[in-house]
Amino acid sequence: MTPRTWAAVTLAGLVVALAVAALLLVPWTRPPAPRADQLAALRDLPAQQVARGRAFHAALRPGGYAALLLGLVVALALGLTPLGAKMITLAGRPFGDHWIAQAVVGGLAVVLLADVLTLPFAAWRHAVVDRYGLSTQSWGGWAVDVLKSYAITAVIGAVALLGFYTVIRLAPRWWWAFGAAGAAALVVLLSFVLPVLVEPVFNKFTPMEPGPLRTELIALAERDGVPVRTVLVADASRRTRAVNAYVSGIGPTRRIVVYDTLLREAPPGEVVAVAAHELGHAKDRDVLAGTLLGALGAAAVVVGLYLLGSWRGLLRAAGVESIAEPRAFALIVAVVTVAGLLSTPLQAFVSRRVEARADAHALALTGDPAAFEAMQRRLAGINLSDPDPPRWEYLYSATHPSTVERIAAARAHARKAGR
């Protein structure tokens, strides 16, 4: 068989493997709480809190969707016209048109251009968050965080671009196979590395002081069969008033991380409820499942891009001869951007089901639906959540069940337990 035939067979195998993994790992059969129960929970929330949360999200919405639209327009303008190829050529010219310069410098220019052009909308978001009192960060601190994000993107992007185009040069007929393996390996590597190396760039972590709460969190993890290395406190208060906690890392790097804002705002029982939810992700191996799905998806994208390279009309529109040349990277970005936007509702649906399972785990582990409901009320109030967002927005991009769904689920658990 020719390399293209092998690629088509490999893509089919990856799609089947992705579908099987999703069927086995995603809790598809976990429907949301009945709508009547959600509306009852909504009526029980303070009207002023609901109005403030909705006003906050209404203020964020224009800038958020404008940035999304602008990013799409930029990706299409660079990828489906010769503009992207010309930009990459210009980036490599000071370096003698060397392929490494085109691949790395030109590729990063394409990736970062949309970020730079949408920066005013990111600033708009910060202004709204600050106006509603959720941010504690100055404009200088915000700018430093933006630069840190760009730097991390540049480092990871440069390594990935150099590796990808090096593989293409070394194996011009079979680069799709090595590239797919490399993309999958990169997803797995980042799952282990990001919590350890990237999180400290944005927050300082200190061990939680010995005391009843730390003892209870460690005991909760041991009882759940999810041993953690330590309990850390993140200095989130220097950036936000939002409250949160999470379990980070895999295996030996796993730790419970609690925002200092959560310790300040919530009683211990509610902190335990949040931690129990996060332990549910570790118990059900959600990070590993997400890593596996991400690795299979990344491999499928690389093989799909190789097969897409036979579409001559697309290549002519981009002003390139082959999708494997560095000058075609803008076309790759355009294809990936469109695919990402189209797949967002499915990704959000999967995420909501996984989060709902973690909620159920927390309720079962703590046996305290009252604390769970109180925590959801507090999260919604402090974090300015819309407790019952518009249906279209919920279906397109909501990664968690709504506040009213979670409260209704807690009440259903209490009824079932006879409480």
Which amino acids are annotated as binding site, given as ranges?
A: 277, 281, 355
Cα distances (Å, whole numbers) of residue 162 to 94, 171, 177, 182, 314 = 18, 14, 16, 12, 24
Please tell me the distance from the alpha carbon of residue 355 to that of residue 357, in angstroms, as a whole number.
Answer: 5
Q: Which of 224, 270, 278, 368 is catalytic?
A: 278
Matching residue, tokens 């590796």:
163
Residues 6 or more apart whose Cβ sits within 8 Å of residue 305: 176, 323, 332, 335
Token digits for 379? 């999260």
> How far from chain centre, in Å, is Cα 98?
34
What is the spatial distance between Cα 326 and Cα 164, in angstroms, rounded to a whole number? 10
Instruction: Find all residues with CB under 8 Å of 404, minimum gap 6, and list them.
Output: 38, 39, 41, 42, 45, 387, 388
Tokens of 401: 């069940």
Active site residue 359: yes
Q: Which H/E stretch holds residue 256?
A: strand 255-259
Could you tell me the sign of the dihedral formed by the alpha carbons of 89, 305, 354, 385, in that order?
A: positive
Report pLDDT for 419: 58
| Residues of the chain under the 70 pLDDT cut | 250-253, 419
Instruction: Count Cβ atoms within 10 A of the Cβ of residue 309 and give its class: 0-12 exposed, 13-18 middle, 19 or more buried.
Output: buried
CA separation for the pair 120, 79 (Å, rounded): 23
Q: How many helices (H) and strands (E) does the chain have?
A: 19, 4
Structure tokens at 221: 């993890």
Report how far apart, in Å, the C-alpha atoms of 284 and of each of 260, 280, 290, 364, 409 are: 26, 6, 11, 14, 19
Is 321 catalytic? The answer is no
Cα distances (Å, whole numbers) of residue 189 to 134, 137, 155, 347: 33, 31, 15, 21
CA distances from residue 299 to 55, 75, 175, 179 in whole angstroms, order as listed: 41, 22, 12, 8
Domain enclosing residue 72, as ranges:
3-416
CB 397 within 8 A of CB 296: no
Pick the catalytic residue from 260, 270, 286, 359.
359
Structurally, the chain folds into a number of domains equal to 1
Q: CA torsion 143→144→146→149, rounded to 10°?
A: 180
Instruction: Extract the annotated binding site for Zn(2+).
Output: 277, 281, 355
